[in-house]
A = this chain, B = another copy of it.
Amino acid sequence: MTQPAAVPVGAAVSAVRQASLREHNLALVLRQIAAADRPPSRAGLAAATGLTRATVSALVDDLIAGRLLTEVAPTPRSGAGRPAVGLTLAGHGPAGLGLEINVDYLAAVLVDLAGTVRHRAVRRVDLRPVPPVEALALVGDLITEAGAEADRQDLTLAGTALAVPGLVTATGLVRLAPNLGWRDVDVPALLGTHPGLGGRGLGVDNEANLAALGELHAAPPGSANFIYISGEVGIGAGIVLHGTLFRGARGWSGEIGHVPVHPEGRPCRCGGRGCLEQYAGQEAILARAGLTDPAAVDAGRADSPPTAPVPGAAVTRLVAAATRDEPAAERALVEAATALGVAVAGVINLLDVDTVVLGGVYAPLARWLAPTVEAEIRRRVLTAAWSPVTVRPALLGGDAAALGAAGSVVRTVLEHPARWLGRPSR
């Protein structure tokens, strides 16, 4: 039983030190500006926060000097007096670098404080035959490239996070990434000292978790309970409950790819049998659709411009075949969606989430997958009749995890601006 001590009233006050009060107020001003529909003025911020105008001005000056805010041209107003200068999040200050290493691609995105993607790279490469050290060297190339791009655009790297399709400890050790064939790969030790990281270290997290965080922040407010399913060669899930990513007791939540859907069915790489991945993973779908020729996996370099990346060639061909109503493609998608629906029905019966987000390669395939998933939910979820469940494609594209990773860096700056302002200069 917890036993909070009775805090004498005076002590509570003296505990609010000036430094932490300033930290709190810096973040408060920044949040107001981030959430505002139009750039607020200093006077507007004072009114909204309850702080004095002098305090607001001092805080804003610090935030401008630290390149977190920019002044924008005043918008004319109807009332009397000179129009006030507006404030917005800086587009030239700190930026977050998000990276993803997956089975058949690498991705990098650079996101500024306002959430704008400033640089984007996707490299299609089959990493299964590539040892971890070499795969991470390819990620290092993406870091170098993104760093050059940040310099060119007058951005400062505030931090870097890497998404990995596997089980990652709090220190960034990849315990297991079955589809990459990785086991106990110490990513920070291998990549954390890359010069492009600017000495700021490297966060590592599960790709479905980061993609779910990206989705949470891209979705409209109120999207508080959902399962984000990341369909790739493997299938992962990020579970958002009450607006918070649920990581499990030890950080291993969301392994929906290994939920048994046919207990004595196909053997799985994990050692189990009948795992969802064997019926609804990208390779299983492509094989069933007859699209597994070697040309289906692009090799080498195929960087895309800073727009959302397109799926791999094989998935593109599957979408084309489904669009043409080709029976093999349709059968493959129905089989995958049925298995997905069985696993998802179990999830909903257990967790009562109200939304299923189809991410990764499932996003472009959602048009064909969703109806069957929804039918399985109607058939199998006890409460489906009166508590409807929404099945929808992800808002973010194939680099959702990289976007979520970059976003997590940016949000840390926004939530703790004092740390950014007080950082050692380069």
Chain A interfacial positions (CB closer than 8 Å to B):
1-9, 12-13, 16, 24-25, 28, 31-32, 34-35, 48-51, 167, 175-176, 178, 221, 224-225, 237, 239, 241, 246-256, 258-263, 270-273, 275, 338-339, 342-343, 345-347, 349-354, 379-383, 386-387
In the complex the two chains form, is B6's CB within 8 Å of A353's CB? no
Please name all residues of chain B whose beta carbon is closer than 8 Å to the beta carbon of A237 when the two chains form the complex. 350
Cross-chain contact of A252 among B252, B255, B352 (Cβ < 8 A): B352
12 more CB-based (< 8 A) A-B contacts, given A1-B31, A3-B28, A343-B346: A3-B31, A6-B49, A6-B50, A12-B12, A175-B386, A237-B350, A246-B351, A259-B350, A260-B342, A270-B380, A272-B380, A273-B380
CA distance A176 to B382 in the complex (A): 9
Show 17 A/B contacts (Cβ-Cβ < 8 Å), sorted by A. A3-B28, A6-B49, A167-B382, A175-B386, A239-B350, A239-B351, A249-B354, A258-B349, A259-B345, A260-B261, A260-B342, A260-B345, A260-B346, A260-B380, A262-B263, A263-B339, A351-B351
Q: Which among A12, A255, A275 has the highest number of chain B CB atoms within 10 Å?
A: A255
Q: Whole-angstrom distance between the alpha carbons of A349 and B268 in the complex?
A: 14
Per the bound structure, the CA–CA distance linking A360 and B339 in Å amounts to 31
Q: Residue on B with the closest CB to A275? A: B380
Instruction: Indicate which residue in B7, B32, B35, B252 contacts A383 across the interface (CB closer than 8 Å).
Output: B252
Closest Cβ of chain B to A400, distance in Å, is 20
Q: A25, A250, A338 — which one has the most chain B CB atoms within 10 A of its CB?
A: A250
State how many copies of this chain the complex holds: 2
A380 / chain B contacts, CB cutoff of 8 Å: 258, 260, 270, 272-273, 275
Q: Cα distance A263–B225 when bound, in Å?
A: 25
Q: Are B353 and A249 touching (Cβ within 8 A)?
A: yes
Q: Tell me which residues across on chain B come within 8 A of A2, comparing CB atoms.
A: 31
Which of B9, B48, B263 has a CB less than 8 Å from the CB of A342?
B263
Contacts A167-B382, A342-B263, A350-B239 given; does A4 touch B28 at CB 8 Å = yes
Contacts of A342 in B (CB 8 A): 260, 263
Complex contact A352–B28 (CB within 8 A): no
**B259 and A349 within 8 A (CB):** yes
List the B side residues contacting A382 at CB < 8 Å. 167, 176, 178, 252, 255, 258, 270
- 5 nearest interchain CB pairs? A248-B352, A225-B249, A255-B349, A259-B346, A272-B380
Chain B: which residue is nearest A261 at the CB level? B263
B254/A350 in contact, CB under 8 A: yes
B176–A255 touching, CB < 8 Å: no
Q: How far is the CB of A181 from chain B (nearest CB, A)?
A: 14
With A16-B9, A258-B382 known as contacts, the answer to whether A352 contacts B4 (CB < 8 A) is: no
Contact of A250 among B35, B50, B352 (CB under 8 A): B352
Which residues on the B side are within 8 Å of A353 (C-beta)? 248-249
